């Protein structure tokens, strides 16, 4: 009997065998959840319209409020731009941030109505499909809103954006969407209900994060203590990357976007900061979902 059991033990494979079946199932799960989210969006188009109207109102009202401001206030010695052109990158990033910070709402409503339990008890292989599907859905919807705002800006300024401007805007906005969506999804799994979620995102995170960035005013307008806080905000680097892509012929990794008495930040360092924030948000969400549902 001992020899038989030893012989059978030796028949066990020494390495794990991986197949492509699990990968195809994961893609099917993500596709199914994304289609479900798009169906919810199709049935509630008012949410997208409101999220699109809000930044357009900011663009129109703030642009009209400061239209008579001296042009040289919002540029350097070589580049002078009007406030509307200065405000456009801030409105684009504000739109992406505002949409991404609400990406956890479907999850928290599914929690309250019991649909999340049905999804988790279904034969789902990878629970991270919930995270990936929410981020993919938010990216596509928000980038569509960004393109509408770009067209509106082009109509106002009477200037067609160049290819490198469009690519820079879409890449930067996607980085902002992914890291902000991770924070939103993490909040959706932690907070008890949608009332706390809306209070946290709208009152505590949304507007303060916008005001402690360079979306509405340049860094030189701010006191030194506020400049330190603004430089710790990832949205500042996203806004300045887009702003520089509009003001120079061709943006490069060595283009300087932040200049303070303490340090100077180039495009390369800004992209690294945004990538680090993305990685940290993904790790945080994966830890939370593993702790609560595995």
Written as tens digits, the pLDDT of the chain (294 aa) is 444 444 544 555 555 554 455 567 677 777 777 888 888 878 877 777 777 777 777 777 777 777 776 655 555 544 567 777 788 888 888 888 888 888 888 888 888 887 777 777 776 666 777 778 888 888 888 888 888 888 877 776 667 777 777 888 888 888 888 888 888 888 888 888 788 888 877 777 877 888 888 888 888 888 888 888 888 888 888 888 888 877 766 667 777 777 777 778 888 888 888 888 888 888 887 777 777 655
d(CA 211, CA 201): 14
Write down the H helix ranges in 66-128: 83-101, 105-113, 115-121
What's the pLDDT at 208? 82
What's the pLDDT at 107? 83
| Cβ-Cβ contacts under 8 Å for 162 (sequence gap 6 or more) | none
d(CA 133, CA 293): 17
What's the pLDDT at 14? 54
What's the pLDDT at 169? 86
For residues 104 and 187, the answer to whether their CB atoms sit within 8 Å is: yes
Burial class of residue 205, CB neighbours in 10 A (0-12, 13-18, 19+): middle
What's the pLDDT at 21? 53
For residues 169 and 142, the answer to whether their CB atoms sit within 8 Å is: no
Helix (H) or strand (E) holding 216: none
For residues 41 and 144, the answer to whether their CB atoms sit within 8 Å is: no
What's the pLDDT at 1? 47
């Amino acid at each position: 009997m001992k020899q038989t059991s030893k012989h059978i033990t030796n028949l066990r494979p020494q390495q794990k065998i991986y197949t492509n079946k699990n990968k195809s199932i994961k893609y099917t799960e993500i596709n199914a959840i994304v289609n479900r989210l798009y169906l919810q969006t199709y049935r509630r188009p008012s949410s997208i319209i409101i999220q699109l109207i809000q930044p357009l109102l900011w663009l129109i009202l703030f642009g009209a409020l400061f239209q008579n401001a001296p042009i040289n206030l919002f540029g350097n010695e070589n580049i002078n731009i009007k406030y509307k052109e200065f405000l456009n990158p801030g409105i684009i990033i504000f739109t992406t941030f505002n949409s991404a910070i609400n990406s956890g709402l479907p999850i928290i409503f599914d929690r309250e109505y019991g649909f999340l339990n049905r999804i988790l008890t279904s034969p789902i292989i990878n629970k991270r499909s919930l995270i990936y599907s929410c981020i993919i859905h938010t990216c596509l919807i928000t980038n569509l809103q960004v393109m509408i705002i770009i067209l509106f800006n082009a109509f106002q300024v009477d200037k067609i954006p160049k290819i490198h401007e469009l690519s820079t805007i879409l890449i930067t906005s996607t980085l902002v969407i992914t890291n902000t969506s991770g924070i939103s999804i993490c909040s959706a799994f932690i907070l008890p209900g949608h009332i706390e979620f809306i209070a946290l995102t709208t009152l505590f995170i949304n507007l303060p994060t916008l005001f402690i960035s360079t979306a509405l005013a340049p860094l030189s307008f701010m006191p030194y203590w506020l400049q330190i806080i603004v430089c710790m905000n990832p949205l500042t680097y996203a806004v300045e990357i887009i702003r520089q892509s509009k003001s120079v012929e061709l943006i490069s990794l060595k283009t300087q976007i932040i200049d303070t008495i303490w340090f100077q930040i180039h495009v390369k360092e800004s992209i690294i900061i945004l990538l680090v924030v993305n990685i940290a948000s993904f790790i945080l969400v994966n830890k939370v979902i593993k702790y609560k549902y595995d």
